[in-house]
Structure 1
Amino acid sequence: MIQIHTLANHAPIALHIKRNTQRNIIIRARDASSLNLSIPKWFSPAQLQNWLRDNEATLIRILQQAPAALAGQPETLPPSILFTGEPYALRPAPVAQIERCDRQRLFRLPQQSNPAEQRDLLRQHLFQAAHAALLPKLAAHSQRLQLIPAAISLTRAKTFWGVCRARTGIKLNWRLICAPASVQDYVCIHELCHLRHPNHSRAFWQLVRQHHPQSPAAQAWLKQHGKTLFSLG
């Protein structure tokens, strides 16, 4: 059985669950965003959810330790990807570099490149687009809320959408460039609010909803579509 589980930071992971007669729970990484989970056959869905919540730090640690070799990518690219929440087709074309055509909602890929090279070029293009769009957005929200991080940057992490640390500042996952603007806004505000409340207390969530009333819709979008943002790895 495959189950999509959403971490507290709204990052989705795939759980490949197998039930057995043992009393222990066994976890192994499949790659940086999915786990093999062997659980007792008598475990109820509620017990499983409670266990996942209580052991989230362990899940993240195992995901982060997944060997890079496990994270191999398919030989072919998907027919389309999301960009700012909209589906964009991927089309080979006689071009020297990635070209984004917003009116047609498509990316033109160098047809002389193999799929692995096209994937790398597309990831690089999206990372640059994220740098140009997400960091100014975060800076604007920071000024508006008067919550100023030590620094802002992007991350290639596969286990969270954003992270806030007092010393190192806020890092946003570059893949958020593929999400709608309202979802990008939500993650920015979520991380900025951690500067005042470094937890997920009631006061923290009240502050998030005060500055982003549509946060439940953004959370629902990430839960439903977050996995697709990792289609390029």
Structure 2
Amino acid sequence: MELAGRRLDYRLRRSARRTLALRVDHRGVQVSAPQRLPEAEIEAFLLANHGWLERKLGDLRSAASVAAFEAVDGALFPLEGRPARLVVVPGRRRACWSVGEDGVEELWLGDGVDTRAALLRALKARATERFTPRLAEYCARLGRAPVPLRLTSARTRWGSCSTRSGIRLHWRLIHVAPALADYVIAHEVAHLAEMNHSPRFWQIVEALYPNWREARRALAEVARTLPAIDARDTLAPEDM
């Protein structure tokens, strides 16, 4: 269709659902619609969400232009909202976190390993270490027992929640400031009470994390700047 003077290609998926839904990911724009909804109403829905579409498509273009991270000695990468440094040490066998003379946190790796893979393992281990107690804290605030935590590499989500398997958090949240990671944790914990995005759900989020609106905006901004350490990290997860 033509949208604001531009051609917009989108995939249309019809099902027994009752409402319209819009998604933008590495495959492009997808609209999910009820079986018999007229195309005119679908296009009106796209027009009404033109601003959101432009922003998400811009994010796609920005993510595609991010250069692959070079895992070399001295390379800087974000860690919990601050810059950290990769240090390659000849003969070292195990990864080790340290602090440099300039106060910058460092990850020491040996020169005989796949530095990118070793960096990825270290970041995921750090994410599990940091997020597990935060998840337990927010579960307690909701009056729930802690649920299992798993890490994910999903392309389009910062996290997900299942009443059976627990909560999944994107490992790349270890890049962002703890306050922003906490917002995602609070968001997913709120789903333990409301498995939807109803007004009641957002009331729970606000009770758990009052500044969620500011955190949501900040997370969307910082997501565009994250390095592509994993070869699959071609996109930033979408807003929550």
- Judge same fold: TM > 0.5, yes or no: yes
What amino acid does structure 2 have at the position aligned with 1:47?
A: L
Cα offset for 1:52? Answer: 6.8
Cα offset for 1:232? Answer: 0.9
Tell me the SS of whatever aligns to 2:221. helix
| 2:82 is aligned with 1:86 | yes
User: Is 1:208–1:215's contact at 8 Å kept on the other side of the alignment?
Assistant: yes
Cα offset for 1:227? Answer: 3.5
What amino acid does structure 2 have at the position aligned with 1:25?
A: Y
Tell me the SS of whatever aligns to 1:147. coil
Cα offset for 1:230? Answer: 5.1
Instruction: Return the alpha-carbon distance in structure 2 between the equivalents of residues 209 and 120 of structure 1.
Output: 38
Q: Which of structures 1 and 2 has the bigger CA Rg?
A: 2
Match for 2:187 among 180, 187, 190? 190
What amino acid does structure 2 have at the position aligned with 1:224?
A: E
What amino acid does structure 2 have at the position aligned with 1:77?
A: A
Instruction: Return the alpha-carbon distance in structure 2 between the equivalents of residues 147 and 75 of structure 1.
Output: 39
Cα offset for 1:123? Answer: 0.5
Which segments of 5 or more consecutive residues in structure 2 lack a partner in the other structure?
A: 1-5, 13-24, 30-42, 58-66, 231-240
After superposition, the Cα gap between the structure-2 partners of 1:110 and 1:85, relative to the gap in structure 1 and judged at 3 Å, is same
Match for 2:96 among 99, 109, 118? 99
Tell me the SS of whatever aligns to 2:84. strand
Match for 2:199 among 183, 199, 202? 202
Tell me the SS of whatever aligns to 1:189. helix
Tell me the SS of whatever aligns to 1:146. coil
User: Is 1:149–1:192's contact at 8 Å kept on the other side of the alignment?
Assistant: no
Deviations 1:205-228 (A, max 9, x none): 122122212212221221011244
Range moving further from structure 2, 188-197 or 150-159: 150-159
Tell me the SS of whatever aligns to 1:216. helix
Match in the other structure for 2:39 = none
Instruction: Return the alpha-carbon distance in structure 1 between the equivalents of residues 222 and 189 of structure 2.
Output: 23
User: Is 2:134–2:182's contact at 8 Å kept on the other side of the alignment?
Assistant: yes
Instruction: Return the alpha-carbon distance in structure 2 between the equivalents of residues 74 and 98 of structure 1.
Output: 22
Cα offset for 1:195? Answer: 1.5
After superposition, the Cα gap between the structure-2 partners of 1:202 and 1:232, relative to the gap in structure 1 and judged at 3 Å, is same
RMSD: 3.4
- Aligned residue pairs, count: 182
| 2:10 is aligned with 1:25 | yes
Mapping of residues 1-233 of structure 1, within 5 Å: 24-25=9-10, 34-35=26-27, 47=47, 49-50=49-50, 74=68, 76-77=70-71, 79-94=75-90, 95-102=92-99, 103-113=103-113, 117-148=114-145, 151-229=148-226, 231-233=228-230
Which segments of 5 or more consecutive residues in structure 1 lack a partner in the other structure?
A: 1-18, 28-32, 38-42, 60-72
Deviations 1:11-65 (A, max 9, x none): xxxxxxxx55xx75369xxxxx74567xxxxx9xx83844977xx9xx9xxxxxx
Tell me the SS of whatever aligns to 1:182. helix
What amino acid does structure 2 have at the position aligned with 1:106?
A: E
Identity %: 28
Instruction: Return the alpha-carbon distance in structure 1 between the equivalents of residues 122 and 200 of structure 2.
Output: 38
Tell me the SS of whatever aligns to 2:144. coil
User: Is 2:69–2:227's contact at 8 Å kept on the other side of the alignment?
Assistant: no
